[in-house]
C-alpha cells in the first residue's frame, strides 16, 4: 500500500471537510505500457502515467461530481476541484430519492491481484515475447500484428464520513497476436490474459498460431451456405457474449430502463441450459477481482445463473436507492464473471481438431463487432473473425470465409448447448477507451451449440 | 512551457531523433449532465491537463504522456527510449510526407461559450425537455448535455507552432416505450448542425421542443405497429441512419491506416486495396463523397490535425469511383512506396488524437455525401415502387474489413406505389458494401442534407474516442435485404 496515496486522500478529505463538503474521493492511478505491432514491425511503443481524482459531493438529495486528470504535485488544482464541486452543489437538482452516502466501516486493502514482476516488465521483455510467439511464422505475405498491453492500476477511496480508506492494486496484461495474409486478407489470432508474469506463455500462443496458419495456408477456403450449423465457440466468443449478456440483461439498471431481455419474475426460472453456471466471483484473482465495492459493501460470490436458472439482478447502489432494492456489491468498475466448465475434456484447439465428430462443426473463435439488435429479445449480431474453421464429419478441415450470426443469448446459452469443456481460460475483455480498468472473464475453453443460424456468408476473405 | 518544449525537442534531435512533436494541453474541461425520468443522474464537471510526446527514431515511433508536468524532460526521454526499442523491429522505416512549417491558430466558431452558461440554465433546459417527453406511451425519458472546451499547443521539430481552442456541444433527448408485444422501443433526437457556429447557441430550445413532440408521436406509432416486412426491397435512409451507414462503410473503410493493415489486431482492415484508387467503382454514379474538415459547425473541423497539417476538403468518391482516402503524413508515404506510384499527393490532414495521452491516428473529419438531384424526400418516396423509409441508429455491426454490415433502426415507414404508408417496428437491413452503394438509385437535394455529428467513434490501440461529423442527404438503395 502506498502511504503517499493514503496521505493524499487524508489531506483531500480534510480539505473537503474544511469546505463543509460531504464527499466521496476516489484516486485512480495507472502506469500503462503498450507495444503495438503492425506489418511485422513495432508500429507504436507507448506508455502513459496518469493520475485521476473523482469527487462526488452529497447534500441531502443533491449530488454532483467532479473528475480530473491530475498533476500529483499540484495540490492547489486538486483543491480547486473541490471548490468547483462546492460551487456546483447549490445548483444541482434534488433527486426524487435519497442517495446513499458511503460510510466505510473499516479499512480495506486488496492487493491480491498485484504482481511486482508483471509491473516491472520491460520493453525488452515485451519485444522478446512477441518475437517468440511469432517464431518463423511470418513471411513476405504473412504479417504480424498485435498488442502487448500491460500495466498497474491503483484505486483508493475515502469518504468524509470517517478516516477509513479502501485501497486496491492490480497488475494485468492483455496480449493479442494476429497473423494475416497481405494478399488473401485472411487473419488468425491468439490471445492471452495475464494477472502475473508467470501467466505469460509465448510458446503456447505460438503453437495456436502455427496450427491456424497451417490450416489457413493448406486447407480449402469455402463460402458456407447460409443455414443452421453446429457451432463451437472459442473463449473470445463466449466471453464477449457472456459479458454483453450480463451487462444488458442482468443489471437492475438495464431492467428498469427497459433494456433487459429478462424480467423480475424470471428470477428462479429455467431460462438457460442446465449446463450453464455463471457467477460473479470476487475470489477470482486471475480475473482482477476486488473484495469490496465503491460503497464499502463486501463482495461475495453472486450467482447469476445456476443450473440454467436465472438467479438475480445485480444492483448498484444508485439503482438500488432509486428503486428500493438492496444493493448487491456491484458498484464496481468491472465484475469478475466465471462460467463453470462442463463435462468434456477439450483443452486446446489441437484437442478440438482431433476429437471424434459425427457431424460437421463450425468453429467460431471470435465474434467481431457484436451489437444488440433487439434488447428485449436478447438478440445480438456479429461476424466470425480470426481463425474460424469448418471441421468436417469425415475429419477434414475447411477454412470458411467469415459469416454473420444473428441469434438470441438464449440460443447460445440455452437448451441448444451440446457440451462444454471442463477446462476454463481467462479471457481479457478490457478496453482502453478511458482509464485503465482490467476486466476479464473465466469461461470454458469451448462451448458446442447446435442449430446456430448463419444469416450471411462472405464470398471471399 | 513552450520554451521548455522547444529545448527538449532540440535535445532529442541532437540525440538522433528524426522528428519530434509535443501536444501540450494546458487545460481541457468538460461538463456532462444526464437527466433520467426527471432525475438529474449525472451532473459532472471534469478537467485534465498534460502532455504527449511523439518521437520518430530510426524509422519507428515512440510515445509517452503524463499528467505530471513538473519534469517534462522525463516525458521526452521516455518517448525517445520507447522509439529506440521500437526501432529494433522495423520492416518499413517510417517516413513523413512533406508539409510546411506552420505558425497558426484555430478557434472553433461559437457565439456563446457553454462554460459561461450557468448550471441552472442547463438543468432548466433538461427539465423542459423531460416535461415535453413526459407523455402517454413514454416509460423512460432521457436528456443529455455534454460540453467540451480544450486548448491544445502543438510544437514540432520542423518549426510548427499551432494553438487550437476548440469548443464542442452535444445534446440529445430520448423517449422509450414498450410495444404491444412487450418489446422495448425508442426514438431519439440530436440536432443536425445547420448554423455557422457550434457553441451553446446551437442548442435551440424551440427546435428541441418541436422534435420532442415528433419523437413521442413517432414512438407511439411504433408501439402499436406491426413488424417490418422481410425480403428484398428499396430502403430510403433518412439522415438519422444514413450518417451511420456513411460512417461505417465509407468512412472507416477509407482510413488509410486500416487499408495498410495498421488496425488488424483490433478494429480491423478494409476491403479496399491500394490498386483500387482511381479505378474501383465503389457506388453508382450518384455517389460523391468527400472528407471536408472545413464545415464550420461540426466537431470534424479542427483547423489543423495533430501532424500540424491544415484541414482540407478532399474528394473520396467521385461519381462512384474511389479517388481518395482519409490520411496522415506517415501513411501516405508508405502507401505511395508500396504502390510504387504516387497515389496520394500529401497528407489530407486527418491524423488526430483524442487527448494528450493518446497518439494521433487517421480519423474521419466530416465524411460527407454530396446532395443529389433527385429532389426532396417526398419526391424520392413518390418515385419508389416498394420499400421502407428508415430512421434511427438502434444497432450496427460491420464486418472486419467493412465488406458487409447489419443495421437495426428505430422506426420504418412502408412505401408502396409512391405512397408513404404505415409505421413498422424493429426494421433491420443488411448488405455487402460495394453492391449496396452500387444500388444507390436516388440522392436527395439540399433540402434533405444536414450535418449529423458523432461524439463517440471508437478506434485504435490504445483505444480512442473521437468526435466528427457527416453531412448526408436522404438516399435510396434498391434490392436490399430487409429483416433478419
Query: Could you report the per-residue pLDDT of B370-382, keeping only the tens digit for each?
Result: 999 999 999 999 9
Q: Record the cell numbers describing residue B88, joined without a space.
A: 529494433
Q: Which distant-in-sequence residues (6+ apart) come within 8 Å of B400 by Cβ?
A: A187, A368, A369, A383, A385, A402, B268, B269
Residue of A nearest to B269 (CA): A185
Is pLDDT at A70 greater than 90 in this prediction? no
| Degrees, nearest 5: CA angle B346-B348-B349 | 115
Chains A and B form CB pairs within 8 A to the count of 248
| Residue B188, all three cell numbers | 431519439
Region for residue A460 given its phi and psi (left: phi exceeds 0; alpha: psi -120 to 50; beta: otherwise): beta
| Rounded-to-integer distance, Cα B62 and Cα B76, Å | 10
pLDDT in tens, A184-218: 999 999 999 999 999 999 999 999 999 999 999 99
Cα B293 versus chain centre, distance: 11
Question: b/e string for A235-259 if b means 16 or more Cβ within 10 A?
Answer: bbbbbbbbbbbbbbbbbbbbbbbbb
Q: At residue A27, what are phi and psi to the nearest 5 degrees?
A: -105, 135
Q: What is the DSSP letter of B251?
A: I
Percent of residues in chain B assigned helix, strand, coil, to nearest 5 = 25, 40, 35
Q: Are strands B367-369 and B289-292 parallel, antiparallel or unpaired?
A: antiparallel
Q: What is the pTM of this model?
A: 0.96
Close Cβ partners of A400 (under 8 Å, ≥ 6 residues apart): A221, A222, A223, A224, A362, A384, A388, A389, A390, A457
Cell matching residue B142: 432521457
Bridge-based pairing state of the strands A337-339 and A379-385: unpaired
Contact A187 B400 (CB under 8 A): yes
For B9-63, the DSSP string reads: HHHHHHTT-SEEEEEEEEEEEEEEEEEETTEEEEEEEEEEEEEEEEEEETTEEEE
According to DSSP, the β-strands at A361-364 and A227-233 are parallel
User: What would the pLDDT profile of A218-267 be if each residue is shown by its tens digit?
Assistant: 999 999 999 999 999 999 999 999 999 999 899 999 999 888 999 999 99
- What are the chain A neighbours of B81 within 8 Å (beta carbons)? 123
Hey, what's the cell of B444?
436527395
Q: Could you list the pLDDT tens digit for every one of the 484 residues in chain B?
A: 999 999 999 999 999 999 999 999 999 999 999 999 999 999 999 999 999 999 999 999 999 999 999 889 999 999 999 999 999 999 999 999 999 999 999 999 999 999 999 999 999 999 999 999 999 999 999 999 999 999 999 999 999 999 999 999 999 999 999 999 999 999 999 998 888 899 999 999 999 999 999 999 999 999 999 999 999 999 999 999 999 999 999 999 999 999 999 999 889 999 999 999 999 999 999 999 999 999 989 999 999 999 999 999 999 999 999 999 999 999 999 999 999 999 999 999 999 999 999 999 999 999 999 999 999 999 999 999 999 999 999 999 999 999 999 999 999 999 999 999 999 999 999 999 999 999 999 999 999 999 999 999 999 989 999 999 999 999 999 999 999 7
Task: Name the closest residue on chain B to residue A130, using Cα atoms.
Answer: B89
Of B48, B64, B401, Cβ closest to residue A69: B48
Q: Which of B44, B70, B85 sits opposite A123 (nearest CB)?
A: B85
Q: Which residues from B are below 8 Å from A64, CB to CB?
A: 43-45
pLDDT above 70 covers a percentage of chain A that reads 100
Q: Is the dihedral of CA B339, B344, B347, B352 positive or negative?
A: negative
Query: Is B260 within 8 Å of A69 when comparing Cβ atoms?
Result: no
Instruction: Kindly report the average pLDDT of chain A as a whole number.
Output: 96
CB contacts, 8 Å: B143 with chain A? none
Distance from C-alpha of B315 to C-alpha of B288, rounded to nearest angstrom:
8
pLDDT at B64: 96
Contact (CB, 8 A) for B261 and A182: yes
Distance in angstroms (rounded) separating the CA atoms of residues A454 and B6? 57
In tens, the pLDDT along A83-110 reads 999 999 999 999 999 999 999 999 999 9
How far is B305 from B349, CA to CA, in rounded Å? 5
Given a contact cutoff of 8 angstroms between Cβ atoms, the answer to whether B245 and B398 are in contact is no
Tell me whether residues B123 and A91 touch, CB distance under 8 A: yes
- Contact (Cβ atoms closer than 8 angstroms) between residue A400 and residue A365: no
What confidence category does residue A1 fall into, taking pLDDT thresholds of 50, 70 and 90?
Answer: low
Helix, strand, or coil (residue A457) = strand
Binned at pLDDT 50, 70 and 90, residue A2 comes out as confident
Query: What number is the ipTM of this complex?
Result: 0.94
Residue whose C-alpha cell reads 454490415 in the numeric block: B405
Q: Which residues pair with A332 in a beta bridge?
A: none
Residues of A in contact with B65 (CB under 8 A): 46-50
A192 min Cα distance to partner chain B (Å)? 13
- Write out chain A residues lying below 8 Å of B268, CB-based: 368-369, 385
What pLDDT is recorded for position A71? Answer: 86
The helix (H) or strand (E) run that includes residue B73 is: helix B72-86
* Nearest chain A alpha carbon to B272: A185
Q: Is the pLDDT of residue A432 over 90?
A: no
Chain A residues inside the 8 Å CB shell of B458: 433
Closest partner residue to A36 among B38, B399, B461, by Cβ?
A: B461
- For A6, the grid coordinates are 493514503
B289 contact partners, CB below 8 Å, separation of at least 6:
B246, B250, B315, B316, B317, B367, B368, B369, B370
**Contact status, residue B272 vs residue B259, Cβ threshold 8 Å:** yes
Q: Min CA distance, B374 vs chain A (Å)?
A: 31
* A43 Rama sector, left if φ>0, alpha if ψ -120 to 50, beta otherwise: alpha
Q: Partners of B440 in the beta sheet?
A: B477
Residue percentage of chain A with pLDDT more than 90: 96
CB B173 within 8 Å of CB B189 = yes
Q: How far apart are CA A45 and CA A125, in angstroms?
A: 13
A344 Cα to chain B: minimum distance (Å):
31
The CA-to-CA distance between both ends of chain B, in Å, stands at 57
Angle (CA) B168 B170 B175, round 5°: 180
Q: Which of B32, B86, B95, B125 to mutate to test the interface with A (most CBs of A within 10 A)?
A: B86
Cβ burial of A359 (10 Å; 0-12, 13-18, 19+) is: exposed
For residues B344, B349, B354, B355, the Cα torsion angle rounded to the nearest 10 degrees is: 120
> Is A371 within 8 Å of B265 when comparing Cβ atoms?
no
Shortest CB distance from A376 goes to which of B118, B127, B182? Answer: B182
Cα(B274)–Cα(A319) distance, rounded to whole angstroms? 51
Which helix (H) or strand (E) segment is A236 a member of? helix A235-249
pLDDT at B194: 81
- What would the grid cell of residue A167 be? 485501497
- Rounded Cα distance between B226 and A268, Å, is 32
**pLDDT at residue A314 in the model:** 98
* CA-wise closest residue to B394 among A293, A381, A243: A381
Q: What is the Cα–Cα distance from B409 to B392, expressed in whole angstroms? A: 5
Of residues A178, A179, A186, the one with CA closest to residue A400: A186
pLDDT score recorded for residue A114 = 97
- The neighbouring-strand residues paired with B161 are B103, B155
What is the β-pairing status of strands B184-189 and A187-194? unpaired
Please identify, in words, the CATH class of the domain defined by B2-224: alpha beta
Q: Tell me the shortest Cα–Cα distance from B375 to chain A, in angstroms.
A: 32
Q: Checking DSSP bridges between strand A389-391 and strand A361-364, what pairing results, if any?
A: antiparallel
Contact A222, A398 (CB under 8 A): yes
User: What is the average per-residue pLDDT within A158-174?
Assistant: 97
pLDDT of residue A315: 98
Q: Do A187 and B264 touch (CB under 8 A)?
A: yes
- In a mutational test of the A interface, the residue from B461, B465, B466 whose CB has the highest number of chain A CBs within 10 Å is B461
Q: How many CB atoms lie within 10 A of CB A6?
A: 17
Cα dihedral sign for B56, B58, B64, B70?
negative
Average pLDDT over residues A392-418: 97
d(CA B11, CA B6): 9
Distance CA B38, CA A418 (A): 47
pLDDT score for A275: 97
Measured between alpha carbons, how far is A145 from A114 in angstroms, rounded to an integer?
Answer: 28
Please report, for chain B, the start and end positions of each structural domain, with discontinuous segments joined by +: 2-224, 227-482
Question: What residue in A sits closest to B54 (Cα-Cα)?
Answer: A46
What is the per-residue pLDDT across B310-351, written as a single tens digit (0 to 9) for each? 999 999 999 999 999 999 999 999 999 999 999 999 999 999
Place of cell 522495423: B90
Chain centroid to Cα A328, Å, comes to 20
Best mutation target, A47, A124, A125, A436, to test chain B (most B CBs within 10 A):
A47
Q: In angstroms, rounded to a whole number, what is the distance separating the alpha carbons of residues B344 and B348?
A: 9
Amino acid at each position: 500500500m502506498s502511504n503517499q496515496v493514503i496521505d493524499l486522500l487524508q489531506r483531500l478529505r480534510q480539505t473537503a471537510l474544511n469546505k463543509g463538503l460531504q464527499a466521496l474521493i476516489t484516486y485512480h492511478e495507472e502506469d500503462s505500457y503498450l507495444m503495438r505491432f503492425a506489418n511485422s514491425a513495432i508500429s507504436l511503443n507507448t506508455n502513459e502515467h496518469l493520475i485521476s481524482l473523482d469527487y462526488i459531493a452529497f447534500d441531502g438529495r443533491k449530488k454532483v461530481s467532479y473528475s480530473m486528470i491530475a498533476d500529483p504535485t499540484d495540490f492547489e488544482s486538486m483543491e480547486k476541484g473541490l471548490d468547483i464541486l462546492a460551487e456546483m452543489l447549490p445548483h444541482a437538482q434534488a433527486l426524487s430519492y435519497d442517495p446513499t452516502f458511503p460510510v466505510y466501516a473499516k479499512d480495506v486493502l486488496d492487493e491480491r491481484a498485484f504482481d511486482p514482476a508483471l509491473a516491472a516488465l520491460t520493453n525488452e521483455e515485451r519485444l522478446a515475447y512477441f518475437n517468440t510467439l511469432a517464431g518463423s511464422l511470418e513471411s513476405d505475405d504473412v504479417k504480424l500484428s498485435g498488442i502487448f498491453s500491460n500495466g498497474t492500476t491503483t484505486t483508493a477511496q475515502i469518504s468524509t464520513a470517517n478516516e477509513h480508506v479502501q485501497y486496491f492494486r492490480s497488475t494485468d496484461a492483455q496480449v493479442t497476436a494476429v497473423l494475416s495474409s497481405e494478399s488473401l486478407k485472411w487473419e488468425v489470432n491468439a490471445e492471452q490474459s495475464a494477472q502475473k508474469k508467470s501467466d505469460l506463455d509465448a510458446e503456447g500462443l505460438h503453437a495456436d498460431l502455427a496450427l491456424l496458419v497451417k490450416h489457413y495456408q493448406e486447407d480449402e477456403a469455402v463460402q458456407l451456405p447460409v443455414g443452421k450449423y453446429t457451432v463451437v465457440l472459442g473463449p473470445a466468443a463466449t466471453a464477449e457474449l457472456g459479458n454483453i449478456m450480463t451487462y444488458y440483461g442482468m443489471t437492475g439498471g438495464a431492467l428498469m430502463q427497459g433494456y433487459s431481455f429478462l424480467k423480475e419474475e424470471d428470477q428462479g426460472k429455467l431460462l438457460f441450459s442446465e449446463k450453464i453456471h455463471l457467477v460473479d466471483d470476487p475470489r477470482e484473482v486471475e480475473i482482477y477481482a476486488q473484495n469490496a465495492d465503491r460503497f464499502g459493501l463486501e463482495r461475495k460470490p453472486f450467482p447469476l445463473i445456476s443450473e440454467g436458472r436465472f438467479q438475480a439482478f445485480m444492483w448498484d447502489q444508485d439503482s438500488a436507492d432509486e428503486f428500493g432494492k438492496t444493493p448487491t456489491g456491484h458498484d464496481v468498475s468491472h465484475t469478475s464473471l466465471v462460467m463453470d466448465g462442463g463435462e468434456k475434456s477439450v483443452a486446446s484447439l489441437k484437442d478440438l481438431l482431433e476429437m471424434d465428430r459425427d457431424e460437421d462443426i463450425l468453429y467460431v473463435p471470435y465474434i467481431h463487432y457484436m451489437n444488440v439488435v433487439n434488447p428485449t429479445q436478447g438478440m445480438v449480431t456479429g461476424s466470425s473473425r480470426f481463425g474460424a474453421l469448418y471441421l468436417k464429419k469425415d475429419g477434414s478441415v475447411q477454412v470458411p470465409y467469415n459469416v454473420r450470426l444473428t441469434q438470441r443469448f438464449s440460443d447460445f446459452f440455452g437448451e441448444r448447448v451440446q457440451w462444454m469443456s471442463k477446462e476454463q481460460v481467462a479471457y481479457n475483455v478490457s478496453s482502453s477507451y478511458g482509464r485503465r480498468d482490467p476486466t476479464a472473464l473465466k469461461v470454458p475453453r469451448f462451448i458446442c451449440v447446435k442449430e446456430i443460424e448463419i444469416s450471411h456468408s462472405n464470398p471471399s476473405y | 512551457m513552450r520554451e521548455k518544449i522547444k529545448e527538449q525537442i532540440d535535445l532529442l534531435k541532437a540525440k538522433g531523433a528524426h522528428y519530434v512533436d509535443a501536444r501540450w494541453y494546458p487545460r481541457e474541461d468538460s461538463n456532462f449532465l444526464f437527466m433520467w425520468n426527471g432525475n438529474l443522474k449525472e451532473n459532472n464537471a471534469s478537467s485534465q491537463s498534460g502532455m504527449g510526446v511523439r518521437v520518430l527514431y530510426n524509422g519507428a515511433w515512440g510515445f509517452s504522456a503524463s499528467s505530471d508536468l513538473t519534469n517534462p524532460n522525463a516525458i521526452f526521454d521516455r518517448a525517445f527510449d520507447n522509439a529506440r526499442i521500437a526501432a529494433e523491429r522495423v520492416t518499413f522505416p517510417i517516413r513523413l510526407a512533406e508539409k510546411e512549417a506552420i505558425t497558426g491558430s484555430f478557434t472553433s466558431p461559437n457565439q456563446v461559450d457553454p462554460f459561461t452558461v450557468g448550471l441552472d440554465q442547463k438543468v432548466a433546459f433538461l427539465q423542459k425537455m423531460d416535461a415535453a417527453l413526459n407523455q402517454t406511451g413514454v416509460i423512460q425519458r432521457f436528456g443529455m448535455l455534454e460540453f467540451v472546451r480544450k486548448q491544445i499547443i502543438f510544437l514540432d521539430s520542423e518549426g510548427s507552432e499551432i494553438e487550437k481552442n476548440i469548443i464542442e456541444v452535444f445534446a440529445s433527448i430520448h423517449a422509450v416505450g414498450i410495444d404491444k408485444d412487450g418489446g422495448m422501443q425508442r426514438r431519439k433526437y440530436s440536432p443536425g448542425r445547420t448554423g455557422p457556429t457550434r457553441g451553446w447557441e446551437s442548442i435551440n430550445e424551440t427546435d428541441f421542443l418541436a422534435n420532442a413532440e415528433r419523437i413521442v408521436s413517432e414512438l407511439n406509432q411504433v408501439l402499436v405497429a406491426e413488424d417490418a416486412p422481410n425480403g428484398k426491397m428499396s430502403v430510403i435512409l433518412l439522415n438519422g441512419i444514413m450518417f451511420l451507414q456513411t460512417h461505417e462503410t465509407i468512412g472507416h473503410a477509407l482510413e488509410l491506416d486500416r487499408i495498410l493493415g495498421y488496425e488488424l489486431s483490433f478494429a480491423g482492415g478494409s476491403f479496399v486495396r491500394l490498386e483500387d484508387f482511381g479505378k474501383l467503382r465503389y457506388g453508382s454514379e450518384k455517389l460523391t463523397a468527400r472528407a471536408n474538415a472545413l464545415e464550420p459547425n461540426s466537431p470534424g473541423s479542427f483547423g489543423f490535425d495533430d501532424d500540424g497539417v491544415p484541414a482540407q476538403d478532399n474528394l473520396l468518391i467521385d461519381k462512384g469511383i474511389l479517388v481518395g482516402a482519409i490520411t496522415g503524413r506517415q501513411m501516405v508515404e508508405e502507401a505511395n512506396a508500396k504502390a510504387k506510384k504516387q497515389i496520394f499527393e500529401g497528407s489530407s490532414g486527418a491524423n488526430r488524437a483524442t487527448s494528450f495521452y493518446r497518439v494521433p491516428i487517421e480519423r474521419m473529419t466530416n465524411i460527407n455525401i454530396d446532395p443529389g438531384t433527385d429532389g426532396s424526400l417526398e419526391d424520392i418516396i413518390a418515385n419508389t415502387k416498394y420499400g421502407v423509409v428508415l430512421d434511427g441508429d438502434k444497432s450496427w455491426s460491420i464486418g472486419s474489413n467493412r465488406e458487409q454490415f447489419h443495421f437495426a433502426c428505430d422506426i420504418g415507414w412502408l412505401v408502396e406505389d409512391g405512397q408513404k404508408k404505415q409505421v413498422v417496428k424493429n426494421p433491420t437491413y443488411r448488405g455487402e458494401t460495394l453492391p449496396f452503394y452500387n444500388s444507390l438509385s436516388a440522392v436527395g437535394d439540399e433540402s434533405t442534407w444536414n450535418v449529423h455529428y458523432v461524439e463517440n467513434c471508437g478506434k485504435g490501440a490504445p483505444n480512442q474516442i473521437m468526435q466528427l461529423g457527416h453531412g448526408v442527404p436522404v438516399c435510396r438503395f434498391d434490392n436490399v435485404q430487409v429483416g433478419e
